[in-house]
């Protein structure tokens, strides 16, 4: 008698397990469909990748502003003559002075110079503010000289608070730091006092 009951119990369990598996499978399919449909870019996603226009008419010498492009922070720094001199001072201290090894996007031809800017507006630095080590956002440390976490002969630049990588005022990484490459320079162009990020004479990035 007990064996028959055990058989009925086992049979019931088998039925329950099969039903549960089928239900789980149906639920899995229901879950996958919306997930797959999410691969289609939304209007917001398309907007996130579109060029960004920034009025820099009020950006004074020595000031920096940050805007978002493709979900990443982008610095716009109006460098002083002294800042440009500090870039030149750092030439022998940076790992890739000519940006021969770009990080996640091609280096624009017009920015292949020590200031990594357009020659006609060399004071303006446009750089993606994402550390090439693990993706943290460096902080500006423009003051020259000795200060916490920086060398005594610090020429001014940026310090990543996560692992100590340092960049000069052109976004070039200093030697012997965790970050392997310079900060990205996105495509950009000027239309009067409007800076367009994500687009240049060759079209959109």
Do 128 and 65 belong together in one domain? yes
| Tokens encoding 171 | 């976004």
CATH code for position 123: 2.102.10.10
Q: Strand pairing partners for 66?
A: 75
Residue ranges making up the domain that contains 7: 1-40
Please name the residues in contact with 129: beta carbons below 8 A apart, sequence gap of 6 or more.
66, 72, 73, 74, 75, 137, 138, 183
Give the pLDDT confidence score for residue 47 in this predicted structure: 54
Do 18 and 61 belong together in one domain? no
Residues 93-138: pLDDT tens digits?
999 999 999 999 999 999 999 999 999 999 999 999 999 999 999 9
Do 23 and 50 belong together in one domain? no
Using a 10 angstrom Cβ sphere, with 0-12 exposed, 13-18 middle and 19 or more buried, the burial of residue 74 is buried
Is residue 193 classed as helix, strand or coil in its secondary structure? coil
For the chain, the domain total comes to 2
Q: Percent of the chain beyond pLDDT 70?
A: 77
Q: Strand pairing partners for 168?
A: 157
Do 31 and 126 belong together in one domain? no
Do 164 and 71 belong together in one domain? yes
Do 88 and 30 belong together in one domain? no
Give the pLDDT confidence score for residue 2 in this predicted structure: 45
Q: Strand pairing partners for 127?
A: 75
pTM across the whole model: 0.76
Residues 30-51: pLDDT tens digits?
323 333 333 333 445 445 579 9
Do 125 and 103 belong together in one domain? yes
The distance in angstroms from the start CA to the end CA of the chain is 77
Q: Percent of the chain beyond pLDDT 90?
A: 70
């Amino acid at each position: 008698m007990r064996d028959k009951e055990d058989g009925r119990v086992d049979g019931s369990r088998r039925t329950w397990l099969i039903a549960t598996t089928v239900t789980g499978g149906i639920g899995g399919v229901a879950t996958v469909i919306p997930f797959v449909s999410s691969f289609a870019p939304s209007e917001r996603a398309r907007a996130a990748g579109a060029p960004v226009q920034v009025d820099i008419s009020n950006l004074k010498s020595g000031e920096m502003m940050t805007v978002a492009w493709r979900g990443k922070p982008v610095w716009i720094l109006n460098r002083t003559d002294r800042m440009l001199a500090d870039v030149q001072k750092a030439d022998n201290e940076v790992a890739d002075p000519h940006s021969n090894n770009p990080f996640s996007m091609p280096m624009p031809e017009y920015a292949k110079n020590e200031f990594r800017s357009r020659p006609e507006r060399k004071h303006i630095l446009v750089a993606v503010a994402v550390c090439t080590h693990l993706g943290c956002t460096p902080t500006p440390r423009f003051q020259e000289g000795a200060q916490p976490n920086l060398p005594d002969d610090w020429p001014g630049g940026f310090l990543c608070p996560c692992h100590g990588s340092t960049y000069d005022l052109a976004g070039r990484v200093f030697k012997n730091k965790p970050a392997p490459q310079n900060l990205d320079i996105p495509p950009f162009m000027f239309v009067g006092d409007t800076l367009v990020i994500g687009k240049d004479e060759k079209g959109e990035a």
